[in-house]
Amino acid sequence: MCEDFDKCSNANLKLLEQCLADAIAPKLHMNQDFMINILTTIDSYAIQVGIEEISDIIQSYSFILRYIFYVDRKFATINEEITYLEKYWQLLSYRDQNINLILKIPKELKDLQILRLSLFPLVENCIYHGFKNGFDENCYIEIQAYILQSNLIIEIKDNGFGIPEETLNNIFTEMEESILNSTLKNKKSGNGIMNVHNRIRLVYGKNYGLKIITNEKLGTIIGMKLPFYLTTASLADL
């Protein structure tokens, strides 16, 4: 799908694999099938006794685990990534019902291929930094996708408290240093953001990656810039 990917050096491929492993790690040190089977058993029992909420929670969690454990691909469609996020959102809504997820993904872009598990860390960052003091009915996270100058742009925006200036500066510093030094850093300032940024640049080149705009009172926008690659199915639909 991506010619640049085939041109990556062996060293970069190893870094990419490590990044992907970090994105889904730690995989629990137990048999994955055992976990799924246990969850299926709990789900069946919840249905039998009529506790629909528990069944819904178990099914959403099982979907998330299957996507992490059993989808052995470096790429996924935007639609697949959004479905994963929606299942996570269902779980989150049982704890915090006030936060809203707004999706602005045009139909013609849903089959575009992006790096798998690249949206969730950014959304999780919004929740951690933007709404660390809790949610109210006005809280939202918005995901928007559009094409700009032959690039696919995906923006994750929230109206939370923003990222503290010191933390943001640390993230920017790591962004500049990580690829130049060919190292993967896992500092506390932004593990998920750095992982996604590194993976994008390793696959597509240094002209692509993440950009962050934040205001400590107005919220944060994380922009993802990717080359405009389409799947065969998407090309047929246009």
Indicate if 64 and 131 belong to the same structural domain: no
Number of domains composing the chain: 2
The DSSP annotation for 159-199 comes to -SS---HHHHHHHHHHHHHHHHTT-----TT-HHHHHHHHH
The string of pLDDT tens digits covering residues 125-184 is: 888 777 777 777 788 899 999 999 989 999 999 988 887 777 778 877 777 766 555 444
Indicate if 43 and 91 belong to the same structural domain: no
The string of pLDDT tens digits covering residues 215-233 is: 877 889 999 999 986 543 4
* Confidence band, pLDDT 50/70/90 cuts, at residue 106: very high
Indicate if 141 and 231 belong to the same structural domain: yes
Indicate if 211 and 178 belong to the same structural domain: yes
Indicate if 208 and 184 belong to the same structural domain: yes
Indicate if 198 and 114 belong to the same structural domain: yes
Indicate if 131 and 115 belong to the same structural domain: yes
**Which residue's entry shows tokens 């030094």?**
181
d(CA 155, CA 126): 12
* Confidence band, pLDDT 50/70/90 cuts, at residue 97: low
Q: Are the C-beta atoms of 145 and 104 separated by less than 8 Å? A: yes
Indicate if 60 and 157 belong to the same structural domain: no
Identify each DSSP E strand in the chain by its residue range. 75-77, 100-104, 113-115, 140-148, 151-158, 209-215, 219-227
Residue 5 or residue 77, greater confidence:
77
CATH number at residue 100: 3.30.565.10
Indicate if 65 and 143 belong to the same structural domain: no
Highest-scoring range by mean pLDDT, 1-10, 162-171, 184-193, 205-214: 205-214
* Confidence band, pLDDT 50/70/90 cuts, at residue 19: low
* Confidence band, pLDDT 50/70/90 cuts, at residue 100: confident
- The parent domain of residue 220 ranges over 3-26+74-237
Beta strand 75-77 with 100-104 is unpaired
* Confidence band, pLDDT 50/70/90 cuts, at residue 16: low
* CA-based nearest residue to 118, from 91, 149, 151, 143: 143
* CA-based nearest residue to 198, from 8, 3, 71: 8
**Last-in-domain residue among 42, 72, 102:** 72
Indicate if 58 and 84 belong to the same structural domain: no
The string of pLDDT tens digits covering residues 45-88 is: 788 888 888 888 888 888 888 888 777 788 999 999 999 999 98
Instruction: Say which amino acid occupies 139.
Output: C
Residues in the chain: 238
What proportions of the chain, in percent to the nearest 5, are helix, strand and coil?
Answer: 50, 20, 30
**Last-in-domain residue among 47, 72, 97:** 72
Indicate if 141 and 168 belong to the same structural domain: yes
* CA-based nearest residue to 204, from 109, 117, 113: 113
Indicate if 84 and 170 belong to the same structural domain: yes
